[in-house]
Amino acid sequence: MSHPSGTDEKLTVREVEVLRLIVNGLSTKQIAQSLAISFRTAAFHRTRIMEKLGISRVADLTHYAMQNGYAPMPSNGRAREREQALFEQVKVTELRYRKAMDDYGAFIQDRDTIGLSNPDGATGARRLRQAEEMAHKDYQAALIALKNFLFREIN
């Protein structure tokens, strides 16, 4: 398996097993249970796979696995369009969520300078927190939609 940066670092048999479980939407805890290994070992495998492949997001890892034969590609054009739309939705909602977290985090850092001891006591703070929560829900929904689509395609 080729590394995106051009090096040729191969995944071990166990890492391929973990990769396939990730593609199927299993959490690290579920992977550990499925393979009868500790959570830390499963987390190590997951981290090592992502390091070897130079990938930092599960959506990109799933896409890589599909492109390289570790998960079947959708067979028709409509399914591919749907897949691409779902990947794009995940990317967009992730960016919104990151921005909402950054906005709320910046407010938290600045709260002392504006004299707030309870950051959620101000209307603006509540709005920022609510925006972060909504962005998180949207991101989670996009991930679940992608997982459900891919899982349906694999089975």
Encode pLDDT of 88-141 as tens digits: 888 898 889 889 988 888 887 777 676 666 655 667 778 888 899 999 999 888
For the chain, the domains span 13-67, 77-154
pLDDT band per the 50, 70, 90 thresholds, residue 8: very low
Nearest Cα residue to 144 out of 93, 98, 69, 99: 93
- C-alpha 28/C-alpha 21 separation (Å) is 9
The tokens describing 151, both together, are 């899982």
CA 15 to chain centre: 18
Find tokens 């990317």 and name the residue: 91
Residues with Cβ < 8 Å from 49, sequence gap 6 or more?
11, 15, 18, 19, 22, 61
pLDDT at residue number 146: 81
Ramachandran area for residue 116 (φ above 0: left; ψ -120 to 50: alpha; else beta) = beta
Q: Over 90: is that where the pLDDT of 36 sits?
A: no
- C-alpha 15/C-alpha 2 separation (Å) is 14
Nearest Cα residue to 66 out of 51, 91, 86, 47: 86
pLDDT tens-digit profile of 46-95?
Answer: 999 999 999 988 878 888 887 887 776 555 677 778 878 888 888 898 88
Q: What CA–CA distances, in Å, run from 40 to 29, 70, 91?
A: 9, 23, 28
When pLDDT is averaged across residues 6-35 and rounded to a whole number, the result is: 81
Does 13-67 carry CATH code 1.10.3720.10? no
Q: Is the pTM of this model over 0.75?
A: no
Q: Over 50: is that where the pLDDT of 155 sits?
A: no
